[in-house]
Structure 1
Amino acid sequence: MKLVKSVSICLLATTLLTSCGGNKEEEKAESSDDGTSISASESVDALKKMADQAEEMSKNGPVETVDFRKLKDLLPADAAGLARKEASGEKNGMAGFNISTAQGEYRNDDGSQSVEINIVDAGGTGALMGLAAWSIIEVDKETENGYEKTTKYGDYKAYEKYDNASKDGEIAVLINNRFIVTAKGNGIEMSQLKSTLEEVDLDKVAALK
């Protein structure tokens, strides 16, 4: 399972090291005006923690992911008041593990509002860490235009990002260290995005085997 761990680390390195920037001011962990800078040392610590978790996950071997058709069945017919225009799914494998994905696309007639819902089953492998790096680190950032933070959605670890000017944003939820449900929206309020997760029914996602 060393390859699984290596793949995860590669996926994570870009995410975390980009977030910390890499200049000397950030290495000293000096905060920006919004107080949210991440130092290089903190990113390295997070990478190590993720690598350890990926290795722990790999000890029992990958879990067989559910048929992507079951994930598709959980895509709602409407999201944030927008009709579903397309639903797709697939299952991909690499290095002894599989990932099942279902995607729903929702939009109004003129395309000014849209939502994309993704339900992913990473099978509890180290690949999960590359798909949800935010589940290990803590983020809390706010600007004049919007915010980005890790939080909780019910009992689940979640990540939110929103731009007030463009009304673009996303919310992602990690379920049972295996499933990731993400809703991304353009031209809609964050409250509408959050409501789409209720339409997906996260408890049904958690019950999948």
Structure 2
Amino acid sequence: MNSIHLITAAVLTIGLAGCGGQKSEQEKARQTTAEAMQVSANAMEQQAKQMAQAMQEQNAVAGTAVELADFREMKKLLPEKASGLPRTEHQGSKNEAFGVRVSNAEARYENDDGSSIHIQITDMGGMAGTAMLAQMAWANMKIDNESDSGYERTVTVAGNKGFERFDSDSQHGELQIMVANRFMVAIDSQNVAMKAVLKMAEELPLSKLAGLAK
């Protein structure tokens, strides 16, 4: 009987030890899951704070008297010709959507052989810092990428930060220029050499554009 009791006790001890080990593994799994959930929650909280900050900045700007430049004055800065191409369209407007106010002027230049340039000037004075940076992520970066089909890089145009992109397959080019931390000059070209586009951009009255900021 004593032997039976000893065997039974040993079996129970092993069984309990096994249950204890299993419980320990379950606790570890629960702890790992809890830690992962906490990390996820922290990330979501940080993202929420960033969104709240962006909204606060936007509301702050919306609540201040930021007078947008008159698009009619911006229209006057658009040349009659761009890289030798005649102007075929010329317009401007002021709009507001979702609390963001913008004023813009634009012109299109083209000829019969398929070459064209489109210039748009946008006053983003109604956009807050975070929202504005989202529109031009390249503003605080240095970029220089090149491939068989084209390139993209940050540039300086008449002392202003810019971003240049060209697709050699489609012969489509893009040039964006930030003026006075407020105006965005966006130039799209088709079948026009980027050297010619850059030269034309250098000749735009960007200093006069900066003077329209109030």
When the two structures are superposed, what TM-score results if normalisation uses the length of structure 2?
Answer: 0.66
Structure with higher helix content: 2
Identify the residue that residue 8 of structure 2 maps to in structure 1: none
Identify the residue that residue 6 of structure 1 maps to in structure 2: none
Say yes or no: does 1:70 pair with 2:102. Answer: no
Deviation (angstroms), 1:167: 2.2
Identical counterparts, % of pairs: 37
Three-state SS of the structure 2 residue aligned to 1:123 is coil
Say yes or no: does 1:208 pair with 2:212. Answer: yes
Which portions of structure 1, spanning 4 or more consecutive aligned residues, are displaced by more than 3 angstroms?
50-62
Deviation (angstroms), 1:163: 1.7
Q: How many residues align?
A: 162
Deviation (angstroms), 1:109: 2.2
| Cα 1:58/1:86, change in 2 over 3 Å | same
Residue in structure 2 matching 1:107, options 70, 86, 110: 110
Alpha-carbon distance between aligned partners in 2 of 1:137 and 1:62, rounded to the nearest angstrom: 30
Three-state SS of the structure 1 residue aligned to 2:79 is coil
CA contact (8 A) 1:115 1:183 kept: yes
Amino acid of the residue matched to residue 112 of structure 2?
D
Amino acid of the residue matched to residue 208 of structure 1?
L
Identify the residue that residue 159 of structure 1 maps to in structure 2: 163
Deviation (angstroms), 1:147: 0.4
Three-state SS of the structure 2 residue aligned to 1:172 is strand
When the two structures are superposed, what TM-score results if normalisation uses the length of structure 1?
Answer: 0.68
Identify the residue that residue 125 of structure 1 maps to in structure 2: 127
Between 1 and 2, higher relative CO (CA 8 Å, sep ≥ 6) is seen in: 1
CA contact (8 A) 2:74 2:104 kept: yes
Identify the residue that residue 94 of structure 2 maps to in structure 1: 91
Gaps (5+ residues) in structure 2?
Answer: 1-46
Please provide the CA RMSD for this pair.
2.7
Residue in structure 2 matching 1:139, options 121, 129, 143: 143
Instruction: Report which of the two structures shows the higher radius of gyration computed on alpha carbons.
Output: 2
Deviation (angstroms), 1:197: 1.4
Q: Deviations over 1:110-167 (max 9, x none)?
A: 3x10000010101152243343232234432110121011232232111000122332
CA contact (8 A) 2:157 2:201 kept: no
CA contact (8 A) 2:144 2:152 kept: yes
Three-state SS of the structure 1 residue aligned to 2:164 is strand
CA contact (8 A) 2:93 2:105 kept: yes
Say yes or no: does 1:168 pair with 2:172. Answer: yes
CA contact (8 A) 2:87 2:107 kept: yes
Gaps (5+ residues) in structure 1?
Answer: 1-44
CA contact (8 A) 1:90 1:101 kept: yes
